[in-house]
Structure 1
């Protein structure tokens, strides 16, 4: 929440940004207290050279007492118990995330002025409760070094890789242009495997960086990072969709940075530049400086190579092929309906009722395999991959749409007659029952 969780509470609490010494003091005290109640307690490595902090983020896993076990006592009770042991004045629970925001009194220091002590300042402490040891480890890894994952994310994205709150994923090029979420296949959430795959030193990852430049040089060590030689170059083949990214399996364009690179950024990256000084410095200063120095000019891998390596190393070949095949099948069905069944049936000069009946009949014949005039046409056959011969489908539709309309109307009329017969029979049955009831009433009536 960046220290603003209690700004709108009633009454609002003043949680100003903390200087490094206050942050370090509160973090150490928090860890010391929480280790009495959880087996794992830690905070992510902070970004380098931070001058102030909005809140203290702490991750916990493995309750040692049932009072801190949500499944035993419920999350509200856990929040109350955390507030009690941490000396919080107020707490809030996040609706969708297992995060408890707590406001604890600002630590007093001997050098504070009397007026400063009366301000009623608080520190926002966020306790992230992890349900598994894996999620605990991943959270510390994914949150480490502040904006480092924003930087790495913009580097690996053009190569078909995405790292989010769950882990690292490979995107299938043919699918991502239409549905990014469906295109992603989970690879791993093991930090060591990810760092190795990206070509980054694991031992160095788990130590703080002294300054931004040091962190930038580390990020540039990713084997997918390279700088476009000149911002005036036309670049590699493919239509760019964001900085360094091309559609499909085209070669990847190098990082551009600066004002020209900003134009090609995705909207969320542009927002990061406006709000995140480290990411802005990476784009505006570090990348252009690499171009000036002539460093990181050559691409070390292609998107195709990364794709093939990911499939082999993380053993996802079967899932990749299945996902792509299912997508192609679903996509072809949509294409058949839009581009053939609808487009090849004339619109002008045709009775709308006949046209609607024709498209329904053609769809049931081709996609559902129903007989057409007593036979199953070749247009409904599929190959070994489950795909239709689109040329055969188009020919069949163009030659038979009118007959399909006649069949459809006949079927519609037959269904209507069946409904009329059913309703007539139902009405007759109801009349018969009513007559029996009336007859019984007459017989039972007193004379």
Structure 2
């Protein structure tokens, strides 16, 4: 069932699954209308072999000047967009769940009575109306406003063919990388990931996949499964669909689940009952990492990032270790002036300057001992003006 965005005001039965002919007729009717509002409008290519459809999803970018209205059209981040009210009116929606900025807004478009008759599904329409409280049913139409054309292209590809992007993301996750709407990234534990590329024109060739094949299209889900399994670093013996690092996927992602079952059948056929990650798997992950940094010309940037993180971690460690052994209270105790925080700061600043910062203080503590540091503090205290 669609209509999850409107659970607060409409029952889920008010958003029936759509027969293919109804879905495609709706798309053909609404896309020209939305094209009056935005320069680029598309619906990601649907998964093959579908027997029915839920929501109709539009990706848009670039509001047309003549579609922009009054102050209600100004987005919260300062950019200008078509107002939600204008979109609602344009597609004939009755309700909406508006989201500002680079987000997806949901619209509930009423199904006119008898609308499915000419499409050969008049009886289906009547049956779907019977299970609602007021006999009214709706199409859920989602409009995702993209920031720019590159993002529009990425999302269009990633969300094509149903769960295609999720499946490809799962395969890439098994290699230690991360692939999503924002592109290909290299995870760094406890830190934001390192961006390798946000262009699928670069990413697919790196993965050993042909973008031309993707654009030519797939007639069956099996064709998609076969194509993504050509991924250069895919290894049946270590493939996992759950466990550490793998995001749990909702049960309704049927195509994704079918792919996992397809892989498991192949694993059983080659005698793999339990995927294992041995030294060879670690070597392959490292090889992919090295290949990626070379392919995307990111080695220097990555080394710089890791150096910065190492320096930051060292500084944090120094501060933590120093805090355990040396504080302002320690200085006050040594100089015999409890509560004199201004004097304490003067001594601490002079000490840092003299020994090379907090690392220098820690070196004295760990190499020469507390007595030597106390001696230095007292010397500084004596040298400072009273």
TM-score (ref. length: structure 1): 0.67
In 1, Cα distance between the equivalents of 2:34 and 2:259? 36
For residues 196-228 of structure 1, what are the alpha-carbon distances to aligned partners after superposition, in whole Å with 9 as ceiling and x for unaligned?
Answer: 011112122124433333222212111111022
In 2, Cα distance between the equivalents of 1:84 and 1:78? 10
Task: Give yes or no for contact 2:233–2:288 (8 Å, CA) kept in 1.
Answer: no
Larger Rg: 1
In 1, Cα distance between the equivalents of 2:317 and 2:152? 44
Match of 2:189 in 1: 177
Aligned partner of residue 159 in structure 1, secondary structure: coil
In 1, Cα distance between the equivalents of 2:10 and 2:268? 53
For residues 126-183 of structure 1, what are the alpha-carbon distances to aligned partners after superposition, in whole Å with 9 as ceiling and x for unaligned?
Answer: 1112232112111101211222222222222243422233222223xxxx2222x1xx
In 1, Cα distance between the equivalents of 2:22 and 2:164? 24
Indicate how the Cα distance of structure 1 residues 94 and 317 shifts in structure 2: closer, same or farther if over 3 A, else same. Answer: same
Match of 1:231 in 2: none
Match of 1:291 in 2: 267
Indicate how the Cα distance of structure 1 residues 369 and 330 shifts in structure 2: closer, same or farther if over 3 A, else same. Answer: farther
Match 1:203 to one of 195, 206, 212: 212
In 2, Cα distance between the equivalents of 1:398 and 1:81? 72
Question: What are the equivalent positions in structure 2 for 1:34-433 lying under 5 Å apart?
Answer: 34-68=34-68, 73-74=73-74, 78-95=83-100, 97-106=102-111, 108-110=115-117, 111-113=121-123, 115-116=126-127, 119-171=135-187, 176-179=188-191, 181=192, 184-228=193-237, 254-256=238-240, 262=242, 264-266=243-245, 269=247, 271-272=248-249, 274-283=251-260, 285-294=261-270, 302-339=284-321, 341-342=322-323, 345=325, 353-354=329-330, 370-371=350-351, 375-376=354-355, 380=359, 394-398=366-370, 400-403=372-375
For residues 55-112 of structure 1, what are the alpha-carbon distances to aligned partners after superposition, in whole Å with 9 as ceiling and x for unaligned?
Answer: 1001122333432479994359621111112111122212564323111122512252
Task: Give yes or no for contact 1:43–1:57 (8 Å, CA) kept in 2.
Answer: yes
Count of aligned residue pairs for this structure pair: 356
Bigger relative contact order (CA 8 A; separation at least 6): 2
In 2, Cα distance between the equivalents of 1:301 and 1:198? 17
In 1, Cα distance between the equivalents of 2:301 and 2:71? 34
Indicate how the Cα distance of structure 1 residues 331 and 71 shifts in structure 2: closer, same or farther if over 3 A, else same. Answer: farther
Indicate how the Cα distance of structure 1 residues 89 and 397 shifts in structure 2: closer, same or farther if over 3 A, else same. Answer: farther
Indicate how the Cα distance of structure 1 residues 377 and 109 shifts in structure 2: closer, same or farther if over 3 A, else same. Answer: closer
